[in-house]
Structure 1
Amino acid sequence: MPNTNPTAINRIILLILFLYPVLLLSVQGGANVLFVVLLVISLVIWVKLNLWRKFLKERSAIFFSVAMTSILAATLLSQTYHDTFNSIHGDSPARFFVAIFIFYALRSLDLNIIPALKYGLPLGAITALFVALFIQYDGSSEFGLRASNSYLNPIHFGNLSLLLGMLSACFVTDIKRTGFSANRLQIAGLIAGLSASALSGTRSGWVAIPVVLAFLLFSSDRPDKLKRLVGAVAVMTITAVICFLSVNVVQQRVYETAAEISAIMNGDFNSSFGLRIQLWVAGFHMFIDNPIFGVGPSEFFSSMDKLYASGMISSVPSSIYGTEVHSYFVACAAELGGVGLLSAVSIFLVPLAMFVDAAKSRVDTVRIAAMAGICLVVSFFTFCLTAEMFNIKMVASFYALLVAALLAATHVVEKAPVKTSTTGDKSCNTTN
């Protein structure tokens, strides 16, 4: 494609993609500002190049557009059905919708974004560890002494820190060929992300690690993929053991988990995990009673009175978890019905299918972007099983932007292999 965009615009976009993960967990509002700037640039490119005529002819682009629009459409349909309109309920879903424009714009540019993410993601994980160690601890009665920042709870902070670390590992190149020094920042990012997550005391997010590793092993066709998997597991295991032995909050959370499982086995559901189970049961009954459009956005807890009265659940969840259903999928099913549940699943499955397909490419940088995309989507899917990750707009923006950028990279780099090899970052030209 002709280079119709000024070099300055390309540099601004690369700077945004580099700074975005660095500011995500360290500067309140910083990542959102960058998201808005990138969106404005993308809209200008969209209009200038008349992109809708080109990309809406592609089947994959149409599927992506429908998937990323669906959750906003489901929210509007539920509001229309219940005749209760409130623009705030569309804030997070709108982030997925506008990611369509970012995806198309980045695809249209002769631009290699891999180096920006290769260095930005590990620096973001290292910054998260710095925040966890020195800046802010959440000492509220609900969470206790657990690492976080001033604008996220420990669950979201821990999950995002963990993800930044795992994404850093996706950009590790062939150590035997390029040497350890070429990958030390990415390895440091992996360790930092795991450590920051451990300090946050989050537990369920760590379930994503074996799931992500399984998907990456399945999707990769590298002959040394098993060796690389063993290396990643070794680093993660050593980090986890060190955190357990040296960090009190990690030991406490492990012991709490064992105690909660034992209590549930004995029929006592008045624990953190037990209360989540009660919330999920309540959500299931709401979905059964309202299978198409749900009870309405943000109406989950106001719909629990009947369940309290019937004795189906205790009155504890409303007082402790009044703003968190602890499952994005349960929340969508209960509040938006079957339409919402299908939409929630589609924002993960459609990009995942595109990333898995791109992972078969012979272009090394395309595979790197695809593997990072698989890690991103599978991690968020796993997080959303036990947390409402997208009830915070910043988190929705992070997922939407990275999905759009990495999907664009699987197309842009493949179409311009000569130019992407002259970025000066030779380490990106090895398969992941």
Structure 2
Amino acid sequence: MLLMMRLQRSQSHGIEKAFYLAACAVLAAFPALMFVKPTLSNICYGLLLGWSACALVAGGRAGLAECGALLRRYWLFMLAMAALPLAVLLQQLLAGAEEPHVSYLYLRFALFIPLVFGMVRLGRGGMRSVQWGFVVCALLSAAWIHEATAAGRPAHVGSSNIIPLSNLSMLMGILALISIGWDRRRDYLQSGLKLLAGSAGLYASYMSGTRGGWLAIPVLALIALAASRRLTRLHKAAALAGLAGLMALTWFGSAWVQQRTTEVVSELSQFDHHVTLDTSIGIRLQLWRESLQMVQAHPWTGVGPENFERTLQTLAAQHEISPLAASMPHSHNELLHATATLGIPGLLAILALYLVPAAFFLRHLGNADRGTQVASAMGLALCCGFMVFGLTEVMFATTLVNAFYSLIMAVCFAYVVARKDAWPAQAAS
């Protein structure tokens, strides 16, 4: 009988460890496959939700109590992540929708909450597997964009718009760089791969010519340096000076960068003098102007996400906006688009998505625990990166990008709040 009990216990432990390792692999695969195989990446997201549900059920009453404690203690963070789907629901109620519903595009932000429980159960060791997804994605994206831009700057690379693709490729490169803090001091091979991934992310952004993404480089670099304990203040100052010098050298030595930056002044002048409205800058200025008018007309409800393009077409028929600008699916500015479509609640929801997590991670950036500091820097880079990207692009316009934001946010948050003696860490040891 005693032997039978030991065998059953060993078998149970083996099954738990197999599920644990599978969840770690899926977590790493999500960012790695995000652009190359988006369908598989979506499947990974679903599998991680399944893992979270199973972990919650397996935890029993103790697990439910732990989840309840997390909800009570970090209710503001949870509410901020669910704010956008709540704003969508509120907009529909205020607009008198007959059958209010929240589409999966917005619902993915609220799925942050169950994902957190799953990531906590995965343990800190398991959550660190996501770093290799960042490395693979940055390297693959750089090679892909290099090939795609050989004959000029395309609007799409594969099925992905080049703007969010290049933005997220650079962000993943920076996240890979920050994760060097999780390496042991003499893990030169791992750290070298991450340095290569960081360079690949910057190269992908450079080759794409996405000027809005370039604005995020100094912000993300500051966060990465702030998270480093291995560098002294003098080294950090030298690194910043080197980055500034590299950016200046790139501008003076690259006709491509000069062309993309001088086009800004040219397009602004053309718009101001009514030479042509349909330049990259001109289209954005038109969309921003009309979005503000939508806000003025409908400050609390907006025009509704489903009516935005129809409203632009009406404005085009009235010669308020050019037909090309009216064909755009969004405002090319995250805050303006949310306010134009969802009203002031939409604006508050986007600000909550950015600022509440940013304040949380900034507070933990100086934590004495090295792993917590790295995870906090990653979370802060995620918030700030999307904040800067959102100045010229609507990043939250696709379900996969929204899944990325909610999942990586859940990993960073869970890493900060997880107990070191969580069950999965024991199961994996």
Please classify the TM superposition score into its range, dividing by the shorter chain length.
0.7 to 0.9
Aligned residue pair count: 413
Residue aligning to 1:427: none
Provide structure 2 residue ranges, at least 5 long, that are not aligned to the other structure. Answer: 1-11
On the 8 A contact 1:146/1:199 being kept in 2, the answer is no
Q: Tell me, which stretches of 5 or more residues in structure 1 are unaligned? A: 425-432
Partner of 2:411: 405
Corresponding residue for 1:370?
A: 376
The Cα shift of 1:133 comes to 2.8
261, 264, 269: which one aligns with 1:257: 264
Distance 1:317 1:391, change over 3 A: same
TM score, norm. by length of structure 1: 0.83
Q: Distance in 1 between matches of 2:19 and 2:237?
A: 38
Q: 2:57 aligns with which of 41, 47, 61?
A: 47
Distance 1:8 1:343, change over 3 A: same
Q: Is contact 1:148–1:158 with CA below 8 Å preserved after alignment?
A: no
CA 60–283 in structure 1, closer or farther in 2 if over 3 Å, else same: farther
The 3 A distance-change label for structure 1 pair 359 and 189 is same
* Contact in 1 for aligned 2:80/2:353 (Cα 8 Å): yes
CA drift of 1:384 comes to 1.4
Pairwise CA distance, 1:306 = 6.2
Scaled by the length of structure 2, what TM-score is found? Answer: 0.84
Preserved CA contact (<8 Å) 1:95 1:397: yes
Q: 2:80, 2:352 within 8 Å by CA — same for their partners in 1?
A: yes
Tell me the alpha carbon deviations over residues 48-106 of structure 1, each in whole angstroms, 9 at most, x when there is no partner.
32545333334443112211222111112222333447899622211111121011221
1:103 aligns with 2:125: no
Q: CA deviation at 1:314?
A: 4.1
The farther-off stretch of 337-346 and 172-181 is 172-181
- Whether the aligned pair in 2 keeps the contact of 1:195 and 1:243 (CA below 8 Å) is no
Change in CA separation of 1:222 and 1:416 when aligned onto 2, cut-off 3 Å: farther
Q: Which amino acid aligns with 1:261?
A: L
Structure 1 residue 19, shift from structure 2 partner: 1.7
What CA distance in whole angstroms lies between the structure 2 residues aligned with 1:91 and 1:241? Answer: 44
Give the structure 2 partner of residue 161 of structure 1. 169
Residue by residue over 1:123-170, the C-alpha shift from the partner in whole angstroms, topping out at 9 and shown as x without a partner, is 210011122234x4598xxxx633853111111111111111111221
- Give the corresponding residue for 1:332: 338
1:389 CA displacement: 0.9
In the other structure, the counterpart of 2:153 is: 145
- The 2-side partners of 1:145 and 1:212 are apart by 25
The change in CA–CA distance for 1:339 and 1:353 in structure 2 (over 3 A counts) is same
- 1:286 aligned residue: 294
2:281 alignment partner, one of 245, 269, 273: 273
Residue 354, structure 1, aligned to residue 366, structure 2? no
Query: In structure 1, how many angstroms separate the alpha carbons of the residues matched to 2:374 and 2:226?
Result: 15
Q: Answer whether contact 1:114 1:365 (CA < 8 A) is retained.
A: no
Query: Does 53-62 or 37-46 show the bigger shift?
Result: 53-62
1:27-46 equivalences in 2 (<5 Å): 27-46=37-56
Corresponding position of 1:428: none
Counterpart mapping for 1:213-224 below 5 A: 213-214=221-222, 224=232
Alpha-carbon contact 1:132-1:147 (below 8 Å) kept: no
1:229-269 alpha-carbon deviations (Å, 9 max, x no partner):
642663686488559846x7545423422422343454654
Deviation at 1:401, TM superposition (A): 0.5
2:85 equivalent among 72, 83, 96 = 72
Matched, 1:116 2:129: yes
| Aligned mate of 2:69, from 57, 65, 69 | 57
Which shifted more, 160-169 or 211-220? Answer: 211-220
* 1:430 aligned residue: none
Which amino acid is 1:256 matched to?
E
Alignment root-mean-square deviation, CA: 3.6
Give me the whole-angstrom Cα distance separating, in 1, the residues matched to 2:150 and 2:88.
32
Larger radius of gyration: 2
SS at match of 1:415: coil
